[in-house]
Amino acid sequence: MSCLSEVIPDHVVEFIQGMLPERTALMQRIEAECRAEYIPLVEPEVGQFLQVLLNIKKAVRILEIGTGIGYSSILLASSFGTLKGHITTIEIDRDRYARACDNIREAGLAELITPLCGDANEVIPSLVGTFDFVFMDAAKGQYPEFFLKFWPYLEPGGLIVIDNIFLNGWVIDMTWPERRKKTMVCRVRELLEMLKKHEGLLTSIMPLGDGLAVSVRR
Ligand SMILES: C[S@@+](CC[C@H](N)C(=O)[O-])C[C@H]1O[C@@H](n2cnc3c(N)ncnc32)[C@H](O)[C@@H]1O
C-alpha cells in the first residue's frame, strides 16, 4: 500500500485534507483525470494554502510556471473575489496546454487566466510587466534557472511559492532512488541554498504536500 506522503504521516495528511472545503464538480473531475493519467497537480491542501496566501497578499499579477491541465490556475483565479487579478501561466506540453485552455474556459475564467504554451525558460524573458506572486511548479531540475529568469519580474513585497521542494524526502536526505534522479534532487537543493543565502528574500520551508518554499521579496 502506498502512503500519501513520504515525509508527513498519513493520519496528518488525512486530517488536513479532511478539513478542506468540498471542491467543485469541475475540480473533482480534473483531479480524477490527473490521477487516472498520472498527470501531476498540486495536492488539494497546497491549493488551499495558495488561495489563503493570495488573499492575504491581495496579489493581482500572478505568474505560474507549470500549468498542467489548469487545476492550480483555476483554484487561484477562483479565489480572486473582488480583486481584479490576472494569472499568466506557462506550460511546455502542447496537449496539456490545450486541455488547460478547455478547463479554464469551462470554469468561466478565461478572462482572468492567460495560458501560454512554451518552455518557461524562453517565455519568461518575453513577458511584459511585473508580478506580485509567482508559483513555480514545473521541471524540478530547472528550478534554479526558472528562479533566475523570473526574479527581475518580481515586485518588492512579492511572494514566491515553490512546490515539491522535498521531492518525496529525497531532497531532505540527499538520496535518490535511481541515478537519473540525482540531478533533479541536487538542483532543488541548490535552489533552496540560493533562497537561504539570498539577501533580497525571506524564506520559510513548509511541510505541506510534498514540501513548499514560501519567500517574500524584501
Ligand atoms: C506539476 S505539473 C503542474 C501542475 C499544475 N501546477 C497544477 O497543480 O495543476 C508540472 C508541469 O510543468 C510542465 N513543464 C515542465 N517543464 C516545463 C518548462 N520548461 N516550461 C513550462 N512548463 C514546463 C510539465 O509539462 C507539467 O505539466
Q: What is the pLDDT of residues 128-169, one digit of tens each?
A: 999 999 999 999 999 999 999 999 999 999 999 999 999 999
The dihedral through the CA atoms of 142, 143, 147, 148 has a sign that is: negative
Domain ranges of the chain: 10-217
Q: Which three cell numbers stand for residue 210?
A: 510534498
Tens of pLDDT, residue by residue over 174-214, are 999 999 999 999 999 999 999 999 999 999 999 999 999 99
- Asked whether 40 lines ligand 1 (CB < 6 A), one says yes
Tens of pLDDT, residue by residue over 45-86, are 999 999 999 999 999 999 999 999 999 999 999 999 998 999
The residue whose CA has the least distance to atom 7 of ligand 1 is 41
Percentage of the chain exceeding pLDDT 90: 96
Question: 39 C-alpha vs ligand 1 centroid, how far in Å?
Answer: 9
Does the domain spanning 10-217 belong to CATH 3.40.50.1000? no
pLDDT of residue 6: 87
Please tell me whether the overall predicted TM-score, pTM, comes out greater than 0.95 for this model: yes
For residue 5, name the pLDDT band (cuts at 50, 70, 90). Answer: confident
Question: 175 C-alpha vs ligand 1 centroid, how far in Å?
Answer: 23
Cβ atoms < 10 Å from Cβ of 44: 19
Which ligand 1 atom sits nearest the alpha carbon of residue 42?
8
The residue whose CA has the least distance to atom 19 of ligand 1 is 119
Diameter of the chain by CA atoms?
A: 48
pLDDT of residue 3: 82
Backbone angles phi, psi at 205, to 5 degrees: -100, 130
Q: Of 1, 2, 19, 27, nearest to 208 (Cα)?
A: 19
- Asked whether 92 lines ligand 1 (CB < 6 A), one says yes
Using the CB atoms, write b or e for 8-39: b if 16+ within 10 Å.
Answer: beeeebeebeeeeeebeebbeebbeebeeeeb
Q: Contact 163/212 with Cβ under 8 angstroms?
A: yes
pLDDT of residue 2: 64
- Give the chain's mean pLDDT: 96
